[in-house]
Structures are given as C-alpha cells and as structure tokens.
C-alpha cells in the first residue's frame, strides 16, 4: 500500500500539469491556423487580374505576326583521308586537287524569328539569322510553312528584310522607339531554341546603347526581358502592342539569358527596311567629319563648361561639313534641335537623314554658340562596304571592311595605319581562333592591303589549304600570325 501511495504522488505533478494545460487550451482559439485563414483582398485580385488580362490581350494581338525562321547554308570543308597524303613526295604527284583531298560539303542550320510588318509579306529579321543562307523557311503561327525570299540585308545594323507570298497575313503596328523611356514595360516575342511563340516580359533597362560591338551602327534598346538564342529577329513590343524593337543579341557568359538583351530600335529598322525595299540598298546620310567624345581634359582645353557633344577631330575635304564652314575643334551639341550627348548619337542621326536634306546644327566655336545649316550628303559606297569572304581557303567566313575615319577614331587606331578591319568571323571559319573583331589586316603573305578590293584580289587566289602569313594590328601593335592548313 505504501508503495502505491508513493507512486501516485510521484506522477501526480505530471497529471496536474497536463490537466492544467488542457483546461487552458480549451479556452483558447487555435492560433496555428490564423495565417491559413487570412484572405487575399478582392482589390488585389482585381488589380492582378486586370494586369494579366491586359498582357494576354497584347499577346493575342501581336503573336500572329511573329514567325519562326529556319535557314540552311552549305559549308565546304577539305577532307583528308590520311595524313599520308600530306607527304611532299605524294603531293608532287597528286597535287592539292588530289581525289584524296576532295572538298566536302555539309549543311549548317540556323533558327531565328521574324516580324511581319506589311500585309504584302515583308518580314523584318536579323541579318545574322539568314546570312549566307541557301534556303529560308518561314513558319507562321497557323502552322503554314512558306519559302522566304531575301529582299535585302544590312550587316552594318544587323537588319534584314525577307518576303513571303501568302494571304491572310497578320501584321504588327509600328511604334515610335524614340519615345521609349527607361522603366517602361516591354514584351519579347520569338522562338528561343525553336520554341515558337514564346513570350517574356521585362522593362526597358536603357536606351541608346552603343559601343557594344554587335554592329557598326548601334543605338540599342537594352531590356531584361528574357532573350535567348532563337529570339533574334523577333519583336520587342510596348504595352500598346506596338513594335518598338527587333531583338538582336544578348550579353552572356554562359550562352543563355543573364538579364541583358539588346534590340534594334524600330525607327532605325524601319528606315533600313524602306531603303532596302525601295532602292535595293541602304542609303545613309553623310556629314564628312571625324568626331570623338569629349573627356574632362578635352573640355578643359577647349574651355567648355560641359562634356556633352561631339568634338570634330577632322573633316573630309569638300564634304558637307566643310562646305558649311564647320572647322576642326568645333563641338556639335545639337542636331535638328535634338541634344547630342556623345558621338554615336550624332552618327546615327546623320545616317538616318535623307541625303540632300538641309539640317540645322548647333555648334560651339571658340566658346561661342552658333547655328549652321548643312546639306547632308550620301555616304560613299566605299565607306560602308563590308565584304564576307566565302572563298574556299583558310580566310573563308571572315568579314572585313574598309578603314573609315569614323572606324579609326572609334577603334583608336593611328592615322598612319593602312589595311582592312575584321568585322566578323563565322563560327566555322578556320581563322576563328586566330583573328578577332577589330583586328586590322595590313598584309597577306607579305603583300600590302589598303582596301577591300585589294584584300579580295589576293584572297581569291589562295589555294584551299595554303598556309597564310598575316600582318595584323591588334592592341596597339603590329604582329605576324599564321593560318595553317595542317
């Protein structure tokens, strides 16, 4: 008996505590479910529903005008069946055109996007999507597959125009890219990785991006709307469903989306397109000056209060600017009433001006502001010519361009330098590991190069696997490099 009593007293405190907690808890409302019972306000639901509905309406309106573009091109390569046939003894008998070294062809495929901008079937896309294509296939949203015809290309802005013959085509409305503001909501629509009709959303991160290294004439819209390979040539639209840009490129260290995409402004793309359709080429305005940005030191030397504007470093003799009385050392601060912050703005404005049009410039000359009337000329053909070598040798796939005063200033090249500048290198080019954009080719096999014509004349005579000695200018100095066919 004593044992039972003692045991009871030992467990009594625990029973008492349990009964106490049970009593207290019965008087309380369960608090663990308080968050689960909270409700989303109807106002919040309505606001988000309206936003989602608005985006869906924009997509429904625009999506039928966005197409998928697939292109194929033939690439020739040299096939060697055995290193045995590289022996000089056998080459003496069989030569470089031996059947054992016969050229081999393979097909390369490219995917991209395009935007139908005219009911007649005109489509805007990126030049690199269809560059060098033997065949272009356009797939519409309704699954129709049509053959695309190249109307014209402009590598300097990376814009191209193709055409399809079809009826019942949906088109997109043009927007004014000049009115875009940083922070505006935009949608990117295209076919990343071949996934047709993909829509992503973001904002305008910046406008007027230049010196990106994508094209010669750069005035890019930067956006954080997700853009991936295959989006090139697709549409960037505003909240009114208007085309404000043609998606062109991404900045990436991985090859995929990293929050920085670039689009060609619709106003620039439209100007290029109209010129290609009407004239078969892009006609650009020309001022005949070499300009450079104003640094703090330069502004101080010229006694300028601000660092905005384009400083004239040189003028082309007999050019439009010289005829108008503009002098070296003048600073252009306005073009047709629009403020100039840096040289690329001026360059793009001049290029987009119809030759023969008279424009008003505001300049600073010897610390005094003055107005000048200038009749814009046409950019000479040799200054905008860009050649892509499609020869069957080690320089195939290398795009080059004549050195213009603007390019020399932009690349900070010495005035004495002569040659052609490398603007692009195809992924399949044998020179892809040896050359880079911005290299200036001065000599080929000890023969001097001063322009595109001389370059093409020499390159066209090179044999398929012939070793090539190049003298190039890179990073402030001239160096020799070799391209070997072995």
pLDDT tens for each residue of 272-310 = 999 999 988 888 899 988 888 888 888 887 778 778 888
Q: In this predicted structure, what is the pLDDT of residue 173?
A: 95
Q: Which residues pair with 147 in a beta bridge?
A: 137
Q: In this predicted structure, what is the pLDDT of residue 276?
A: 93
Count CB-CB contacts under 10 A for residue 190. 30
Tell me if 108 sits within 8 A of 66, measured CB to CB: no
Measured distance CA(228)–CA(209) in Å, rounded: 19
Tell me which residue has tokens 């296939």: 137
Catalytic residue among 158, 219, 224, 330: 158
Tokens representing 268?
A: 């620039």
Is 155 in a helix, a strand, or coil?
coil
Q: In this predicted structure, what is the pLDDT of residue 272?
A: 93
Is 168 in a helix, a strand, or coil?
coil
Catalytic residue among 191, 232, 271, 429: 232
Does residue 402 have an active-site annotation? no
Tell me the pLDDT of the chain (486 aa) as tens digits.
333 333 333 444 444 444 444 554 545 555 444 455 678 888 888 888 888 888 999 999 999 999 999 988 776 554 444 444 445 544 544 455 545 454 556 676 778 999 999 999 999 999 989 888 889 999 999 899 999 999 999 988 889 999 999 988 999 999 999 999 999 999 999 988 888 889 999 999 999 887 676 777 778 999 999 888 888 999 999 999 999 999 988 776 666 677 888 999 999 999 999 999 998 888 889 998 888 888 888 888 777 877 888 888 888 888 999 999 999 889 999 999 999 988 888 988 998 898 999 999 999 988 888 999 999 999 876 555 555 545 778 898 888 888 877 678 777 888 889 999 988 787 678 888 889 888 999 999 999 999 888 898 898 888 888 889 999 998 888 898 888 876
Q: In this predicted structure, what is the pLDDT of residue 89?
A: 47
Count CB-CB contacts under 10 A for residue 473. 20
Tokens representing 269?
A: 């793309």
Q: In this predicted structure, what is the pLDDT of residue 172?
A: 95
Tell me if 317 sits within 8 A of 408, measured CB to CB: no
Backbone angles phi, psi at 252, to 5 degrees: -155, 140
135-139 and 145-147 strand pairing:
antiparallel
Q: In this predicted structure, what is the pLDDT of residue 486?
A: 64
Measured distance CA(95)–CA(363) in Å, rounded: 65
Q: Which of 425, 405, 423, 424 has its CA nearest to residue 415? A: 405
DSSP 459-483: HTT--TT--EEEEEEETTEEEEEEE
pTM score, two decimals? 0.66
Does residue 128 have an active-site annotation? yes
**Over the Cα atoms of the chain, what is R_g?**
32
Q: In this predicted structure, what is the pLDDT of residue 2?
A: 34
Domains of the chain, CATH where assigned = 62-279 (2.40.10.120), 285-378 (2.30.42.10), 385-483 (2.30.42.10)
Is 263 in a helix, a strand, or coil?
strand
Does residue 158 have an active-site annotation? yes
> Residue 416, class by beta-carbon neighbours within 10 Å (0-12 exposed, 13-18 middle, 19+ buried)?
exposed
Catalytic residue among 110, 113, 128, 424: 128
Measured distance CA(461)–CA(428) in Å, rounded: 21
pLDDT in tens, 430-483: 888 889 888 999 999 999 999 888 898 898 888 888 889 999 998 888 898 888
């Amino acid at each position: 008996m004593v044992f039972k009593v003692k045991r009871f007293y030992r467990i009594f405190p625990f029973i008492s505590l349990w009964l106490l907690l049970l009593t207290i808890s019965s008087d309380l409302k369960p608090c663990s479910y308080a968050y689960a019972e909270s409700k989303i306000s109807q106002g919040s639901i309505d606001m988000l529903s309206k936003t989602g509905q608005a985006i869906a309406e924009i997509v429904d309106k625009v999506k039928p005008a966005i197409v998928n573009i697939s292109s194929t091109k033939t690439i020739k390569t040299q096939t060697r069946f055995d290193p045995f046939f590289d022996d000089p003894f056998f080459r003496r008998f069989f030569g470089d055109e031996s059947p054992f070294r016969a050229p081999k062809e393979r097909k390369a495929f490219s995917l991209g996007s395009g935007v139908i901008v005219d009911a007649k079937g005109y489509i805007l896309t990126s030049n690199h999507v269809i560059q060098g294509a033997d065949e272009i296939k356009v797939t519409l949203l309704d699954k129709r597959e049509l053959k695309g015809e190249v109307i014209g290309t402009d590598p300097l802005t990376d814009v191209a125009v193709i055409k399809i013959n079809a009826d019942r085509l949906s088109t997109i409305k043009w927007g004014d890219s000049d009115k875009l503001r940083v922070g505006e909501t935009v949608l990117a629509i295209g076919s990343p990785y071949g996934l047709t009709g993909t829509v992503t959303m973001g904002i305008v991160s910046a406008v007027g991006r230049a010196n990106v290294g994508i094209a010669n004439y750069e005035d890019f819209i930067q956006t954080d709307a997700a853009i991936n390979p295959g989006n090139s040539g697709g549409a960037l639209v505003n909240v009114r469903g208007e085309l404000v840009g043609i998606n062109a490129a991404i900045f990436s260290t991985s090859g995929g989306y990293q929050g920085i995409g670039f689009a060609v402004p619709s106003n620039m793309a439209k100007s290029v397109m109209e010129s290609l359709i009407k004239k078969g080429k892009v006609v650009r305005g020309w001022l005949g000056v070499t300009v450079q940005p104003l640094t703090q030191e330069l502004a101080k030397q010229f006694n300028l209060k601000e660092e905005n504007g384009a400083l004239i470093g040189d003028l082309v003799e007999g050019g439009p600017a010289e005829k108008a009385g503009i002098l070296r050392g003048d600073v252009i601060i306005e073009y047709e009433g629009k403020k100039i912050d840096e040289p690329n703005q001026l360059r793009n404005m001049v290029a987009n001006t119809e030759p023969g049009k008279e424009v008003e410039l505001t300049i600073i000359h010897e610390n005094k502001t003055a107005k000048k009337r200038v009749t814009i000329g046409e950019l000479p053909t040799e200054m905008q010519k860009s050649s892509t070598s499609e020869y069957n040798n080690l320089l195939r796939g290398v795009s080059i361009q004549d050195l213009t005063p603007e390019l020399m200033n932009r690349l900070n090249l010495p005035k004495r330098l002569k040659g052609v500048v490398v603007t692009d290198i195809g992924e399949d080019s044998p020179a892809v590991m040896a050359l880079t954009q911005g290299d200036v080719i001065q000599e080929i096999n000890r023969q001097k190069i001063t322009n595109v014509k001389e370059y093409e004349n020499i390159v066209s005579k090179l044999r398929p696997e012939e070793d090539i000695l190049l003298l190039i200018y890179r990073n402030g100095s001239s160096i020799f490099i070799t391209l070997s066919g072995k």
